[in-house]
Structure 1
Amino acid sequence: MRKYRIPSMGALLAFEAAARHESFTHAARELFLTESAISRQINTLEGNLGVRLFVRVKQRVVLTRAGKVYGAQVRRALESLDRDTLSIIAHGSGGGYLELAVLPTFASQWLIPRLGDFNARYPDVRVNMGVRTDTFPFAETHFEAAIHYGKPTWPGTSADFLFREEVIPVCAASLLTQPVKSPADLLDYPLLHSTTRPDGWATWFANLGVDDNRTMHGVRYELHTMLLSAAAAGLGIALVPRFFVDTQPEPSALIVPFEAPVVAESAYYFVYPTELSHGKPLTNFREWLLREALAWRTAHPVLDADADVGSGPR
């Protein structure tokens, strides 16, 4: 039989609260214990570990380096246990939770506005969302699935195609000092880039027959919401997915300086670890999401997998 060297839950809860507040008093108040009870739990934990977790400095406690590291690890473990507990409670009621990693602007502009239909169809399933803009090892996170933009080459996962992306240039009308008659005219203005689409502008210009080193110049933003805000503020011209602009709830302050949409070679995918046995939440969400994506592709055929991607204006 394997022997686990895991401290008592009482000691871990006391330590996590004390580490978060760097105060035994505040930890005691939060956990409805006495300060001496918190102190005893910490002393026992330090004795079992053989490591000092706190030092006293002028009537207060301060985490040691080991205490800071262990505090972050214990907090993650307790949060994971809390999520697992909620999930099993929901499972017993016939529902469940899905932990989904999303691209923030995609989620806010395309996914979340459609979730009302999912909730109506599957009222017992809840979708929790967190932000990830790049691939990550599922085994090291609590996520069970992700919305991914790029290629279906995420190691250890299965990937379902959702749809491609049609990109257009946008900017504030006040930025333009003269009419834009050709794509090359845009190079007279600052270009705003996406760090997750580093070759976006170069590819867009190349599809329109423009070969110029200036296509790679300009500042970079990680999120499309930042790109849209920067463009609206007159800081430059951004290249963004058309649906990010078309789905704005109010008339946009942005204009399209040159109408030449290009379908990107990459696409959106729903990915999840291949080796896992998936339960009801993931299965239900996957079926619903693929149905919504099919409807979107049907309404926008150029975004389908068989589209002649990257071939110029549409």
Structure 2
Amino acid sequence: MDVPTRRRLLPSLNAIRTFEAVARHQSFTHAAAELYVTQSAASRLVRSLETYLDLPLFVRVSRRIELTDQGRFYADLVRDALDRIEAGTMELISTRDGGGTLSIGMLPTFGTRWLIPRLSAFQALYPDIVLNLVSNDGPLDFAAQKIDVAVRFGHGGWPDAIAEPLMSEEVVVVCSPAIMAGRHPLSDFDALEHHRLIRHATRPDAWNHWFRSIDVTPAALHWGPTLEHFYMVIQAAIAGLGIALLPRLLVEDEIQRRALIVPYDVRVTGPGAYYVVSPKAKAELMRVRAFRRWIIETSKAA
């Protein structure tokens, strides 16, 4: 049985590439230099695309060009399509021998405490994938950080990315054994008024959320240091600089060896969750799909 053929309604790829470059640079001159063609050739290719579409993509304002509304819509669509083609091409080239490099953006403390101890299981399943770990807990920028996939804490909704939830986070109050043996041990919630509360810079509302969750309104709060990374908060709590509120999964070792004490038997889930996040342009790459599938299954078993 003959399979019916369908002719794709596609313009010239050269015209598409030229239009994307001109839209990105907002300049025929700069786009032409990038593509190693003359300015007149770049202009001619864009005009041919406008003729094909039968609508203007740019408006010429004096010496400048600006995208029309239709041009802006088409530029976003074309850029996404070219990104996917480029990523897929690089994937095929890098994995033609069954290998390739997977760059993972990880939160510093989560990476060292939870992810890295489990990565040998992933490596055993995919021995030909080379892992590159990038530690960062600032804004997520896949292109600038040159990462394929990341683990982040938040509420989802990263732009131009696919985010899949991994796990929620139980938070616990912890303190040093010296505080529990001191003048004001944490025998009840009121005792917190006698101590400084350590804060994490990226979780400024964490303590307020904890108090709301247990329906406690402290008469007074005394703030201690605000620290940038969880491992700094952990060390500050061990050193007795104050009382810390930490994800239990990050301090399980300190709790087990009693470097830190959990004084309150309450279970509070922190706001937000951990997500595995990948840019849409790379979401279907074989190594990214393999890592996403593995870390989701691993988080469920944790």
> Under a length normalisation based on structure 1, what TM-score does the superposition of the two structures give?
0.63
Q: Which residue of the other structure, out of 124, 130, 135, is the alignment partner of 2:134?
A: 130
> After TM superposition, which residue ranges in structure 1, 4 or more long, deviate above 6 angstroms?
86-89
Alpha-carbon distance in 1 for matches of 2:147, 2:197: 35
Alpha-carbon distance in 2 for matches of 1:249, 1:184: 23
Q: Deviations over 1:263-306 (max 9, x none)?
A: 1121000011124453221111111111101112xxxxxxxxxx
Contact kept in structure 2, 1:109 and 1:248, CA below 8 Å: no
Q: Which residue of the other structure, out of 222, 227, 234, is the alignment partner of 1:228?
A: 234
CA distance change for structure 1 residues 279 and 248 in 2, over 3 Å: closer, same or farther?
farther
**Deviation at residue 215 of structure 1 after TM alignment:** 4.4
SS at match of 2:165: strand
Q: Which residue of the other structure, out of 200, 219, 234, is the alignment partner of 2:225?
A: 219
CA distance change for structure 1 residues 111 and 154 in 2, over 3 Å: closer, same or farther?
same
Which amino acid counterpart does residue 269 of structure 1 have in structure 2? Answer: Y
The answer for the alignment partner of 2:104 in structure 1 is 100
Alpha-carbon distance in 2 for matches of 1:96, 1:261: 42
Unaligned runs of 5+ in 1: 7-85, 297-314
**Deviation at residue 87 of structure 1 after TM alignment:** 7.9
Contact kept in structure 1, 2:201 and 2:228, CA below 8 Å: yes
The answer for the alignment partner of 2:144 in structure 1 is 140
CA distance change for structure 1 residues 268 and 91 in 2, over 3 Å: closer, same or farther?
same
Q: Structure 2 matches for 1:36-47, cutoff 5 A?
A: none
Alpha-carbon distance in 2 for matches of 1:250, 1:181: 20
**Deviation at residue 5 of structure 1 after TM alignment:** 9.5
Which amino acid counterpart does residue 108 of structure 2 have in structure 1? Answer: P
Unaligned runs of 5+ in 2: 1-17, 19-31, 37-89
Larger Rg: 2
**Deviation at residue 165 of structure 1 after TM alignment:** 0.3
The answer for the alignment partner of 1:166 in structure 2 is 170
> Under a length normalisation based on structure 2, what TM-score does the superposition of the two structures give?
0.66
* Greater shift in the superposed pair: 213-222 or 140-149: 213-222
SS at match of 1:108: helix
RMSD over aligned Cα atoms: 2.5
User: What is the number of residues matched between the two proteins?
Assistant: 217
Q: Structure 2 matches for 1:1-314, cutoff 5 A?
A: 2-4=32-34, 90-176=94-180, 177-212=183-218, 214-215=220-221, 217-247=223-253, 251-276=257-282, 278-296=284-302
**Deviation at residue 106 of structure 1 after TM alignment:** 0.6
Q: Percent identity?
A: 35
Contact kept in structure 1, 2:172 and 2:268, CA below 8 Å: yes
SS at match of 1:219: strand
SS at match of 1:158: strand
Q: Deviations over 1:44-95 (max 9, x none)?
A: xxxxxxxxxxxxxxxxxxxxxxxxxxxxxxxxxxxxxxxxxx9887523211
